[in-house]
């Protein structure tokens, strides 16, 4: 066997080893990058799920605020005192939802500050609801709806309902942003796996 043939075969062996080494390094890099992308994707999915929970709680609180106003208006039209009990119950539910939102948004300073306002308005509405119930027990409907406490309760409930609007708007914006980022991360991870896998396959060939 000629010396040149031995040298050529030796070089081919080295090139083969180098090729496999590069393929292994590339495969490890692709695997690590893909793992990071998958981790980020799951992180965004968790955040999307959390935002959905906040929005669900906000929707429930807003529904309770609408119900309280509707019950108060029903009393003003019919004089049914059970409607005032519904007002008090709805306000109590709003305060319960408020406590849940406090926990869910503990890492959002802006939402926490808005909840401080909701706390104050909710406490005021609860106090006024009790006062209106006492007032309605001592006078007829026409006089009760003219009482200062009744008018104040109506305004307070309207303010309470409005205070949930910017909170919902912020969470909706967060949901859109996080959904977009999750999609971007998912597409990037798929691209890394596709391009990286193709590169490794071609290199091995």
pLDDT digits (tens, 9 = 90+) for 91-121: 999 999 999 999 999 999 999 999 999 999 9
For residues 57-71, average pLDDT: 93
Q: Report the alpha-carbon angle 183-186-188, nearest 5.
A: 110
Residue 53 confidence class, pLDDT cut points 50, 70, 90: very high
Residue among 180, 105, 121, 196 nearest 155 (CA): 121
Of 8 and 91, the structure prediction assigns the larger pLDDT to 91
* Cα–Cα distance for residue pair 106/101, rounded to 1 Å: 8
Of 130 and 204, the structure prediction assigns the larger pLDDT to 130
What per-residue confidence (pLDDT) applies to 177? Answer: 87
**Helix H segments across the chain?**
3-78, 82-104, 109-136, 141-144, 148-204
Instruction: Give residue-wise pLDDT tens across range 12-37.
Output: 666 556 656 555 655 555 555 655 55
- Please report, for residues 51, 55, 76, 108, 181, the alpha-carbon distance to residue 45 in angstroms, rounded to integers and kept in the order given: 10, 15, 47, 18, 10
In terms of phi and psi (left: phi > 0; alpha: psi -120 to 50; beta: otherwise), the region of 79 is left
What per-residue confidence (pLDDT) applies to 178? Answer: 80
Is residue 40 pLDDT above 60, yes or no? no
Is residue 70 pLDDT above 90, yes or no? yes
Query: Domains, the chain, ranges and CATH?
Result: 13-204 (1.20.120)
Instruction: Give residue-wise pLDDT tens across range 131-156.
Output: 999 999 888 888 888 999 999 999 99
**Model's pTM, two decimal places?**
0.72
For residues 65-76, average pLDDT: 93
């Amino acid at each position: 066997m000629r010396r040149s043939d031995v040298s050529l075969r030796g070089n081919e062996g080295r090139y083969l080893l180098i090729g496999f080494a590069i393929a292994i390094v590339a495969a490890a890099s692709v695997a690590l990058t893909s793992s990071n992308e998958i981790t980020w994707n799951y992180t965004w999915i968790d955040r999307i799920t959390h935002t959905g929970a906040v929005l669900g709680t906000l929707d429930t609180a807003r529904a309770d605020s609408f119900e309280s106003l509707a019950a108060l208006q029903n009393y003003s039209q019919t004089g049914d005192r059970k409607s005032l009990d519904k007002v008090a119950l709805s306000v109590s539910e709003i305060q319960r939802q408020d406590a849940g939102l406090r926990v869910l948004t503990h890492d959002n300073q802006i939402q926490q500050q808005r909840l401080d306002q909701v706390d104050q308005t909710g406490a005021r509405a609860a106090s006024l609801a009790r006062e209106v119930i006492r007032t309605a027990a001592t006078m007829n409907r026409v006089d009760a709806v003219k009482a200062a406490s009744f008018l104040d309760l109506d305004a307070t409930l309207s303010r309470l309902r409005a205070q949930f609007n910017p909170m919902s708007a912020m969470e909706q914006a967060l949901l859109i942003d996080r959904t977009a980022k999750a999609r971007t991360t998912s597409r990037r991870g798929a691209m890394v796996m596709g391009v990286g896998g193709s590169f490794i396959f071609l290199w091995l060939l």
